[in-house]
Structure 1
């Protein structure tokens, strides 16, 4: 295996972050290589999320990861938002299909899959440790699967989903 040579057909995916890191870039590019996909991932920073989303659409960028503080700001800028992401009021992934931008919250999707794969018992209460960006997605996924209201434990008593 090995990274295919970049060419005119190589698809570009980006992160839209206020402070991007190299961890996501390395992770995505490693997976693209392992899966033999002709994609490349680049971390980007922006102060104008509207212009950045316009660029994703205009340049045919295949998709992007969305980080804080943009997870809510992008919702009115895309064409479709999954119901779960709309309920959470945050998206972290945008896919561009020929200029049509669709948004989702993959944290919610991952928790849904974990609940199903591990056969967790609905009806129980849930303890969520932390009130950061994922907390609302986790709480919504558990609620949507029939779990009772739970408790969120956080360092910041003001924070929460």
Structure 2
């Protein structure tokens, strides 16, 4: 690392809270080193209160850009100069690119999710999904899945500050895609069980299962799952979440954490910043 960094090194960040658990620095810095690119990637614990100053710093420090994660993916929108069409449709950003002081927001989460399934030889086009969570990641996953051809999506969300976004997401899917979406409150447990039972894939895009909720899961009964379905938890720290444990107990064949999604969304962001293709196979071996 000391031989690679110099006075011309460009900084890229990751702004979220909590974030010290992230594997993104390992992923991106290893890819930079492998390709001989003069960039450095660091994490910064940034919540909504610090976000405005942090985004200003991207311009002030002439950073090449930054990733953005919870709880900032939607709050960052009005702080940017431009939005990629997909980010505007989704209403969330996870990647910022700085072009000489002009900050453009992109979203690569949904792309990463769909690509991770394709990497495993799984195709959910024409199928039904049940999705928990309508925050930044959940919205990106839901809308990207709808754009890519998923037939139905049942969305479950808390009736809290993210409920309006869940409503907007549902309306966007129904108005802008060929997919049919229905929104439920997460407290509707009978509906939650029934929708999962009729879905090919259940995806949890909430923070349940990661610190400080490592021992929690929205689905605790293995009987809710079938062996022939897909259970996908976007959390990757811990590597085996409580939800995954429940799915394994049910004998579910295809159970995922968020590592492959993280890798693929990172590869898309890497290309936006550098114009180069991330050496994905090399990074996968390092991470997994």
> Same-fold call, TM > 0.5?
yes
Question: Structure 1 residue aligned with 2:140, among 134, 137, 146?
Answer: 137
Q: CA deviation at 1:3?
A: 6.5
Task: After superposing the two structures, state which structure 1 stretch, 70-79 or 84-93, moved more.
Answer: 84-93
Question: Using the alignment, how far apart are the partners of 1:74 and 1:154 within structure 2?
Answer: 21
Question: Using the alignment, how far apart are the partners of 1:17 and 1:140 within structure 2?
Answer: 22
Question: Using the alignment, how far apart are the partners of 1:37 and 1:119 within structure 2?
Answer: 33
More helix by share: 2
Q: Which structure would you say has the larger RCO, counting Cα contacts within 8 Å and 6 or more residues apart?
A: 1
1:20 equivalent in alignment to 2:19:
yes
1:86 equivalent in alignment to 2:88:
yes
Q: Counterpart of 1:134 in 2: which secondary structure? A: helix
Which residue number corresponds to residue 168 of structure 2? none
Q: Counterpart of 2:128 in 1: which secondary structure? A: coil
Question: Using the alignment, how far apart are the partners of 1:146 and 1:5 within structure 2?
Answer: 43
Which residue number corresponds to residue 126 of structure 1? 129
Question: Using the alignment, how far apart are the partners of 1:19 and 1:126 within structure 2?
Answer: 28
Which residue number corresponds to residue 150 of structure 1? 153
Question: Using the alignment, how far apart are the partners of 2:112 and 2:25 within structure 1?
Answer: 20
CA contact (8 A) 1:75 1:90 kept: yes
Cα pair distance change 1:35/1:160, threshold 3 Å = closer
Q: Counterpart of 2:75 in 1: which secondary structure? A: coil
Q: CA deviation at 1:124?
A: 2.6
Structure number with greater Rg is: 2
Cα pair distance change 1:96/1:18, threshold 3 Å = same
Cα pair distance change 1:27/1:113, threshold 3 Å = closer
Cα pair distance change 1:148/1:33, threshold 3 Å = same
Question: Using the alignment, how far apart are the partners of 1:43 and 1:91 within structure 2?
Answer: 17
Question: Using the alignment, how far apart are the partners of 1:137 and 1:64 within structure 2?
Answer: 18
* TM-score normalized with structure 1 length: 0.81
Q: Extract unaligned runs of 5+ from structure 1.
A: none
* TM-score normalized with structure 2 length: 0.48
Cα pair distance change 1:116/1:136, threshold 3 Å = same
